[in-house]
């Protein structure tokens, strides 16, 4: 502790334990369902059992008479609320937008669509009454597959989206040009790739509490959101049509999100409107796990065909990618941006590929909406390009590591433009990360061991999978990502305010917010170093639109690179003002003032220093300020970055595959990541651990499945396999450091890298184990039965 | 995740519990609750009354006297940690250490597992292979049901509605070789296929008799009688084990699901039979 109190010790780069954890681990946190307000009542939803139907009747007569029931409302009762907004339409193309209403009116488009809401004195009574509401549907036909949905004769979900097409988008060269390059290639490979649908599964599900104050006309919303300021904007200006300043949005402690809590959901405006109907009684809705799986957004769900051209020595000359992206029943808040800007424009990965063409067709189906899920587009892109590398290796006989090495963008190429519409990659040095990963894992030895096992016809085969990834974080600037460019409906800057109070204590308010990332620790480390105040004297405040400056929220690994830079710049402004005041206090010229660890002194006289605390007091009491200087050390920054950041690295996975049963055992997992400069290495390691677990789970375990009736077959954790600690290996982590030139801290972002890299690393490893048996691809999740069948099991 | 309304009763004696069951035909017994309560929260089960057995004395003890007697409310952890069980039937102790997850093993009970008769439970096959029997108490008094007669169908036992399992008995298996092999479902942790093998050994390394049981593959824990027939009277040899494994799935009505087809389960029955026999005799 004393080390942390010492302002001369540099904290950035230190693995300080998270200050949030004692509170959260001891159960002293306050998550949404912990909040109990005076007079609060409970909402439960009647949900559609039909995946696509016309509502013929809703009979709530019995429910209304049940114990504790205060009211039952249906969609028509909220006809004055607009459909939820679509905030990110794909840039440059027509978007056939159909967003959901708070409760369905007329038609339902997925199992779980909310059709009525029951309000009762307690949650049990509400749940009982939901069962008593009878709804009849006329079946309109169901389609759950993105390709089948576009076929003639498929059931049509929305009038303005013929063949269920949300949008068609492309990037890269003209198709004919890439076809020519493909035709000229020495080696050609084609592959069908399915990136299956995933369910984000944050530990805490979602919910909202709405409260209307009949006296002031003000609303307050507590909600499990990664972006409270954006929710306030969307709910007021787009859904409810009330002034933005009449709503306060608070994200309490949020138990994980992985993206699914970025979006504007039905329950938010619904709870506010219900509280008004109930004369201000607060109304709580908190989904259960079954509802979470059914109706909170899902991720991925791409069907892709790739055509690859390469030279005989493994250089990729042409790549054509055609993807159908399943967006589910409606257009979720930022759904269109994921398979376009964040997927299509990242398909080149870390390779120089002269001819690329990506076509994306986004599609409505009778399934849960699909939107950003940890990695959001980049995992899908990394899966394509990293499978492509191994397919090229298989077709040319060049080692998979060598294929990557031969195609890497070189250090001198940065900033590098891939030619498919992404901003130039800011910095990178891909080969050292690959080399180090291969060295740690003992690549040559493993290849020899693999060959020996094959030679001996061992039951347990060895597989080695590589994934060299690059991703994009801190997406900005606003003028690029925004409406005229990539289609995002607003900016993507961040803001921060830093106040040094009279007593020398520091309060930082930020528009970003944690849902598990440790902002309070990392940001305090940063401020302690830059301002020279003790770490313990710094409070990081967030998550409440009352009292924090506007921010776009936490996703896309943007908090440090964008929000952190806003803090950094505010601290710099405070420091500059403090230096001016110190010069006045020391009766010296500002140019002669030296700033060191929170102390200002005249060059050559370090003993006669003024501390930041002395200066803050002087600034606040304001008896004696120089010239026009305003009182108080209080500075705000709105920071719009000039570019995105592009973390990268190489992951290597080693698996044993049992030829007899197809069972897969994860033997080793080596990750060498480069996320730029690191503020807290323990937090970054934790992010990488969790990310790898989620990504390897896609490769081996997870997959959301609907039946032909549009029912979610994997509707509980008994069927949908999120990874347990016993199912993941020990991670061997290292880092290289290539600072980002985009921001003054040189940070890139680390929240999603693990998820992006690990899925192809693990899939490639399993496929590699079977390569000598003629297997060059397996669809995920790669279950033991799929392996068993791929090597001849079950063949009659 | 809110169950339907139910009455909660906590009888102090078996007689009282039996009476509550007799008076409430759709009442359910609450032991560890780790199968029942999730089903209630999903509203897949809606008993009118829960009869909590936790206050009834004498249902937790574990005693060994050649044969092994285990109280129905002994938790998986208690069975796993019992030196007596480890000595008499190590496969039972080991399996209780891999059921579910740590939370399940702290609360879940051996009696509860057998009475629930989940088609993919581990302990049903293990107790069946061990030739166990259960003592049950009902309105007609006490009776004994052999594991062979206990499992009737999917989630269905031969217990009468008002009968309660009070103890599980495992016969004296001194010198027997035994092992349980399982392919675990990645989500639920239940057995996709599990095979329990118990070999009673005669002189000179011959197998006097074999009891093998499968779970996960079929609607209920089921004896692998074809494999047993192959093994009986033979000496332990690689060829014998292979022949038993090849015969193991004969005559079984094997189910399939999203995770594993019937074909794949059939294959696993053979593989896991071989592995169980190899480990038991290794």
- Give tens-digit pLDDT for A81-108: 999 999 999 999 999 999 999 999 999 9
How far from each other are the two terminal CA atoms of chain A, in whole angstroms?
Answer: 68
Map out the domains of chain B as residue ranges.
Answer: 7-51+59-173, 177-281
Cβ neighbours, 10 Å, residue A445: 9
Structure tokens, A508? 């930082």
Give the whole-angstrom CA distance, residue A412 versus residue A427.
9
* pLDDT of A785 strictly over 50: yes
* Chain position carrying tokens 């109070």: A501
Q: Which among A128, A660, A789 has the least Cβ separation from residue B5?
A: A128
At the topology level, CATH places domain A299-476+643-790 in: Aldehyde Oxidoreductase; domain 4 (3.30.365)
Q: Is A794 in CB contact (< 8 Å) with chain B?
A: yes
Q: Which of B186, B188, B267 sits opposite A788 (nearest CB)?
A: B267
Q: Which of B169, B194, B172, B178 is nearest to B111 (CA)?
A: B169
Reply yes or no on whether the pLDDT at B204 is more than 90: no
Closest by CA position to A663, among listed B182, B187, B120: B182
Per-residue pLDDT band for A1 (boundaries 50, 70, 90) equals: very low
Q: Suggest the residue from A118, A284, A714, A718 to mutate for an interface test with chain B (most B CBs closer than 10 A).
A: A718
Determine the distance in angstroms separating the CA of A328 from the nearest CA of chain B, rounded to an integer: 22
- In sequence order, the 6+-apart residues with CB closer than 8 A to the CB of A720 are A199, A201, A293, A702, A703, A704, A714, B187
| Contact at CB, B188 and A714, closer than 8 angstroms | no
pLDDT digits (tens, 9 = 90+) for B94-140: 999 999 999 999 999 999 999 999 999 999 999 999 999 999 999 99
Between the CA of residue B215 and those of A95, B256, B272, what are the distances in Å?
Answer: 52, 13, 11
Helix (H) or strand (E) holding A54: strand A53-59
Q: Is A708 on the interface with B (CB under 8 A)?
A: no
Contact between residue B192 and residue B268 where contact means Cβ atoms under 8 Å apart = yes
Strand-pairing partners, residue A728, are: none
Q: Which pLDDT score, from 0 to 100, does residue A2 have?
A: 47
Both structure tokens of A618: 């002087």
Pairing of strands A633-639, A494-500: antiparallel
Q: What is the pLDDT at residue A4?
A: 61
CATH 3.30.365.10-classified regions of chain A: 2-29+493-639, 299-476+643-790
Return the number of other C-beta atoms located less than 10 Å from residue A417's C-beta.
13
Q: CA quadruple A116, A121, A127, A130: dihedral positive or negative?
A: negative
Asked whether the CA dihedral A718, A723, A729, A730 is positive or negative, the reply is negative
* Nearest by CB: B264 against A701, A727, A794: A794
Interval B35-52 mean pLDDT: 95
Q: Could you give the 3-state DSSP secondary structure of residue A558? A: coil
Run of H or E including B168: strand B164-170
The secondary element (H helix, E strand) that includes residue B148 is helix B147-150
- Indicate the Cα dihedral angle A297, A300, A303, A305, nearest 10°: 150
Q: Does A122 touch chain B (CB under 8 A)?
A: no
How many A-B residue pairs are in contact by the CB < 8 A criterion? 58
Tell if the CB–CB gap between A785 and B261 is shorter than 8 Å.
Answer: yes
Whose CA is closest to A45, among A140, A139, A97, A111?
A111
Tokens standing for residue B94: 């080991």
Which residues of chain A neighbour B188 with C-beta distances below 8 Å?
718-719
CB atoms within 10 A of CB B156: 12
Q: Is B14 on the interface with A (CB under 8 A)?
A: no
Secondary structure (3-state) at B182: strand
The whole-number pLDDT of residue A60 equals 98
Residue B278 to residues A471, B97, B174, B202, B239, Cα–Cα distance (Å) = 49, 21, 19, 18, 11
pLDDT at A139 over 50: yes
What is the rounded (10 degree) CA torsion for B257, B261, B267, B271?
-40
Residues of chain A positioned with their CB less than 8 A from the CB of B43: 131
In this prediction, residue A212 carries a pLDDT of: 98
In the predicted model, what is the mean pLDDT of residues A408-429?
A: 97
Q: What pLDDT shows up at residue A795?
A: 80
Segment B61-73, tens digit of pLDDT: 999 999 999 999 9
**pLDDT above 90 as % of chain A:** 98
Determine how β-strand A114-120 pairs with β-strand A69-74. Answer: antiparallel
Q: Do B101 and A720 touch (CB under 8 A)?
A: no
The count of residues in chain B is 282
User: Considering only CB atoms, which chain A residues are within 8 Å of B2?
Assistant: 123-124, 127-128, 288
Asked if the Cβ–Cβ distance from A661 to B267 is below 8 Å, we say yes
Of the candidates A5, A37, A7, the residue with the CA atom closest to the CA atom of residue A275: A37
Q: Which of B1, B259, B271 sits opposite A288 (nearest CB)?
A: B1
Give the phi and the psi of residue A521 in degrees, each rounded to 5: -80, -55
Place A9 in a pLDDT band, splitting at 50, 70 and 90: confident
* CB contacts, 8 Å: B5 with chain A: 124, 128
Taking each helix axis as running N to C, give the angle between helix A443-456 and helix A430-441, from 0 to 180 degrees, rounded to the nearest 10: 50
pLDDT at site A5: 60
Block residue for tokens 């509203």: B43
What is the DSSP-derived secondary structure letter of residue B250?
A: T
Asked if A783 and B259 come within 8 Å (Cβ–Cβ), the reply is yes
Q: What residues of A are in contact with residue B267 (Cβ under 8 Å)? A: 661, 788, 793-794
Q: In sequence order, which ranges of A282-377 are alpha helices (DSSP H)?
A: 289-295
In Å, what is the CA distance from A393 to each residue of A189, A308, A401?
11, 12, 9
Q: Where are the beta strands (DSSP E) in A181-262?
A: 187-198, 207-213, 218-223, 247-250
Q: Please give the structure tokens belonging to residue A109.
A: 């488009």
Would you report the helix, strand and coil content of chain A in percent, each value rounded to 5?
30, 25, 45
Percent of chain A at pLDDT > 70 equals 99
Contact B2 A123 (CB under 8 A): yes
Q: Is the pLDDT of residue B203 over 90?
A: no
What average pLDDT does the segment B171-189 reach?
A: 97
Q: Do B271 and A717 count as a contact with CB atoms less than 8 A apart?
A: no
Distance between CA atoms of A289 and A304, rounded to whole angstroms? 31
C-alpha A527 chain-centroid distance: 25
**Is some CB atom of chain B closer than 8 A to the CB atom of A720?**
yes
**Domain A32-141+206-286 carries which CATH code?**
3.90.1170.50
Type and span of the H or E element at A5:
helix A2-5
* Distance, CA of A13 to CA of B194 (rounded, Å): 49
In 3D space, the residue among A551, A476, A381 whose CA is nearest the CA of residue A743 turns out to be A476
Report how far Cα B198 is from the mean position of its chain's Cα atoms.
14
The CA distance from B268 to the nearest CA of chain A, in Å, is 7
Six token digits for residue A327:
């967006």
Does domain B177-281 match CATH 3.30.390.50? yes
Looking at domain A2-29+493-639, its CATH architecture is: 2-Layer Sandwich (3.30)
Residue B216: band (very low, low, confident or very high) from pLDDT cuts 50, 70, 90: very high
For residues A563 and A549, the answer to whether their CB atoms sit within 8 Å is no
Alpha-carbon Rg for chain B, nearest whole angstrom, is: 19
Contact call for residues A27 and A617 (beta carbons, < 8 A): no
Which residues of chain A lie closer than 8 angstroms to B258, CB-CB?
A: 705, 713-714, 719
Is the ipTM higher than 0.95? The answer is yes
Separation CA B67–CA B88 (nearest Å): 8
Indicate the DSSP class of residue A564: I
The closest CB to that of B268, out of A131, A661, A720, belongs to: A661
Nearest to A531 by CA among A498, A575, A497: A575
User: Tokens 């061992």 belong to which residue?
Assistant: A458
Distance between CA atoms of residues A571 and A566, nearest Å: 9
Q: Is the pLDDT of residue A53 over 60?
A: yes
CATH of span B7-51+59-173: 3.30.465.10
Which tokens in the block code for residue A500?
């040094």
Q: Is the preceding peptide bond at A415 cis, omega within 30 degrees of 0?
A: yes
Tell me whether residues A700 and B185 touch, CB distance under 8 A: no
Torsion of CA A103, A106, A109, A110, to 10 degrees: 50
Q: What is the mean pLDDT of chain A?
A: 97
Identify all chain B residues contacting A131, using CB atoms and an 8 Å cutoff: 43
Rounded to whole angstroms, the Cα distance separating A700 from A558 reads 28
Query: Residue A796: pLDDT above 90?
Result: no
Convert the pLDDT of each residue in A251-267 to its tens digit. 999 999 999 999 999 99
Please name the residues in contact with A649: beta carbons below 8 A apart, sequence gap of 6 or more. A433, A437, A468, A469, A671, A672, A673, A674, A675, A735, A736, A753, A757
Residue intervals of chain A classified under CATH 3.90.1170.50 are: 32-141+206-286
Count CB neighbours of A303 within 10 A.
19
Pick from B4, B42, B271: CB nearest A660: B271
> Would an 8 Å CB–CB cutoff place B258 in contact with chain A?
yes
- For residue B263, the chain A residues in CB contact (below 8 A) are 794
* Distance (Å, whole) CA B29 – CA B16: 12
Q: How many CB atoms are located within 10 Å of the residue A65 CB?
A: 10
How many Å apart are CA A265 and CA A283, to the nearest integer?
A: 16
Q: Which of residues 646-675 of A touch B (CB under 8 A)?
A: 660-661, 663
pLDDT of residue A136: 98
């Amino acid at each position: 502790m004393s080390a942390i109190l010492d302002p001369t010790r540099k904290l950035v780069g230190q693995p300080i334990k998270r200050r949030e954890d004692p509170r959260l681990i001891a159960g002293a946190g306050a998550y949404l369902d912990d909040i109990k307000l005076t007079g609060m009542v409970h909402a439960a939803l009647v949900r559609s059992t039909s995946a696509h139907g016309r509502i013929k009747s809703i009979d709530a007569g019995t429910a209304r008479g049940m114990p504790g029931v205060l009211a039952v409302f249906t969609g028509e009762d909220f006809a004055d609320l607009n459909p939820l907004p679509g905030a990110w339409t794909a840039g440059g193309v027509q978007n056939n937008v159909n967003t959901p209403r708070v409760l369905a009116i007329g038609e339902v488009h997925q199992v779980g669509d909310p059709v009525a809401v029951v309000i009762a004195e307690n949650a049990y009574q509400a749940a009982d009454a939901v069962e008593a509401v009878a709804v009849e549907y006329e079946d309109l036909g169901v389609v759950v597959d993105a390709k089948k949905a576009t076929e003639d004769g498929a059931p049509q979900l929305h009038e303005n989206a013929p063949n269920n097409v949300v949008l068609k988008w492309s990037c890269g060269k003209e198709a004919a040009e890439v076809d020519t390059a493909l035709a000229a290639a020495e080696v050609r490979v084609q592959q069908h790739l399915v990136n299956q649908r995933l369910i984000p599964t944050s530990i805490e599900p979602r919910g909202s509490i709405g409260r209307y104050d009949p006296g002031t006309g003000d609303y307050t919303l507590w909600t499990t959101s990664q972006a409270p300021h954006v929710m306030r904007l969307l709910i007021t200006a787009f859904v409810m049509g009330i002034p933005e300043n009449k709503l306060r949005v608070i994200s309490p402690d949020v138990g994980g999100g992985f993206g699914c809590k970025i979006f504007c959901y039905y329950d938010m405006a619904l709870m506010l409107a219900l509280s008004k109907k109930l004369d201000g009684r607060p109304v709580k809705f908190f989904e259960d796990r079954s509802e979470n799986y059914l109706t909170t957004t899902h991720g991925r769900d791409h069907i892709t065909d790739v055509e690859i051209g390469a030279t005989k020595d493994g250089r990729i000359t042409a790549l054509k990618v055609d993807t159908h992206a399943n967006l589910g029943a409606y257009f979720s808040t930022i759904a269109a941006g994921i398979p376009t800007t964040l997927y299509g424009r990242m398909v080149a990965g870390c390779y120089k590929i002269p001819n690329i063409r990506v076509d994306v067709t986004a599609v409505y189906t009778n399934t849960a909406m699909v939107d950003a899920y940890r990695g959001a587009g980049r995992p899908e892109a990394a899966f394509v390009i990293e499978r492509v590398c191994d397919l090229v290796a298989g077709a040319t006989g060049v080692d998979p590591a060598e294929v990557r090495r031969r195609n890497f963008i070189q250090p001198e190429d940065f900033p590098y433009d891939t030619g498919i519409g992404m901003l130039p990659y800011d910095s990178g040095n891909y080969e050292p990360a690959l080399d180090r990963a291969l060295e740690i894992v003992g690549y040559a030895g493993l290849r020899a061991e693999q060959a020996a096992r094959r030679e001996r016809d061992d039951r347990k085969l060895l597989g080695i999978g590589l994934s060299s990834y690059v991703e994009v974080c801190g997406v900005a600037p606003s003028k690029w990502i925004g409406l005229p460019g990539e289609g995002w409906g607003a900016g993507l800057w961040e803001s921060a305010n830093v106040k040094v109070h009279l007593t020398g204590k520091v309060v930082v308010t930020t528009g970003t917010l944690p849902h598990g990332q440790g902002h309070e620790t990392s940001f305090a480390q940063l401020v302690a170093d830059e301002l020279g105040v003790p770490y313990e004297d710094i409070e990081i405040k967030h998550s409440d639109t009352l009292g924090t400056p506007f921010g776009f929220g936490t996703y896309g690994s943007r908090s440090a690179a964008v929000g952190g830079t806003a803090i950094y710049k505010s601290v710099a402004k405070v420091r500059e003002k403090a230096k001016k005041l110190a010069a006045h206090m020391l009766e010296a010229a500002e140019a002669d003032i030296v700033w060191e660890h929170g102390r200002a002194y005249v060059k050559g006289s370090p003993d006669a220093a003024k501390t930041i605390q002395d200066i803050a007091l002087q600034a606040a009491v304001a008896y004696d300020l120089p010239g026009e200087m305003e009182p108080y050390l209080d500075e705000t920054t709105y920071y719009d970055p000039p570019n995105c950041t592009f973390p990268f690295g190489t992951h290597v996975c080693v698996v044993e595959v049992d030829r007899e049963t197809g069972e897969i055992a994860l033997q080793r997992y080596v990750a060498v990541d480069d996320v730029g400069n690191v503020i807290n290495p323990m937090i970054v390691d934790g992010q990488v651990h969790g990310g790898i677990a989620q990504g390897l789970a896609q490769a081996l375990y997870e997959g959301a499945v609907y039946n032909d009736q549009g029912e979610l077959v994997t509707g509980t954790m008994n069927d949908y396999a999120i990874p347990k600690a016993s199912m993941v290996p020990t991670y061997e982590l290292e880092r290289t450091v290539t600072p980002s030139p985009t921001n003054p801290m040189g940070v890139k972002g680390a929240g999603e890298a693990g998820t992006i890299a690990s899925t192809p690393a693990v899939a490639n490893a399993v496929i590699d184990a079977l390569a000598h048996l003629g297997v060059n691809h397996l669809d995920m999740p790669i279950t033991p039965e799929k392996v068993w069948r791929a090597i001849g099991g079950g063949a009659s | 995740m809110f169950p339907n309304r139910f009455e909660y009763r906590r009888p102090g004696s078996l007689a009282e519990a039996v009476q509550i069951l007799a008076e409430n035909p759709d009442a359910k017994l609450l032991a560890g609750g780790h199968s029942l309560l999730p089903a209630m929260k999903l509203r897949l089960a809606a008993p009118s009354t829960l009869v909590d057995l936790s206050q009834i004395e004498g249902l937790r003890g574990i005693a060994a006297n050649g044969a092994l007697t285990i109280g129905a409310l002994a938790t998986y952890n208690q069975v796993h940690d019992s030196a007596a069980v480890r000595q008499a039937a190590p496969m039972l102790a080991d399996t209780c250490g891999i059921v579910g997850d740590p939370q399940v093993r702290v609360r879940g009970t051996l009696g509860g597992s057998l009475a629930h008769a989940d088609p993919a439970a581990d302990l049903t096959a293990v107790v069946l292979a061990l030739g166990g029997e259960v003592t049950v108490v009902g309105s007609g008094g006490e009776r004994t049901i052999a594991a062979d007669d206990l499992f009737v169908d999917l989630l269905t036992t031969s217990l009468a509605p008002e009968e309660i399992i009070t103890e599980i008995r495992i016969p004296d298996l001194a010198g027997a070789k035994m092992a349980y092999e399982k392919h675990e479902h990645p989500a639920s942790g239940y057995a996709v296929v599990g095979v329990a093998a118990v070999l009673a050994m005669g002189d000179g390394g011959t197998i006097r008799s074999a009891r093998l049981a499968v779970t996960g593959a079929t609607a209920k824990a089921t004896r692998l009688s074809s494999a047993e027939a192959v093994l009986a009277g033979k000496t332990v040899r690689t060829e014998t084990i292979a022949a038993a494994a090849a015969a193991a799935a004969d005559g079984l009505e094997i189910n399939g699901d999203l995770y594993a087809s019937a074909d794949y389960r059939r294959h696993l029955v053979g593989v896991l039979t071989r592995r169980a026999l190899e480990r038991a005799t290794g």
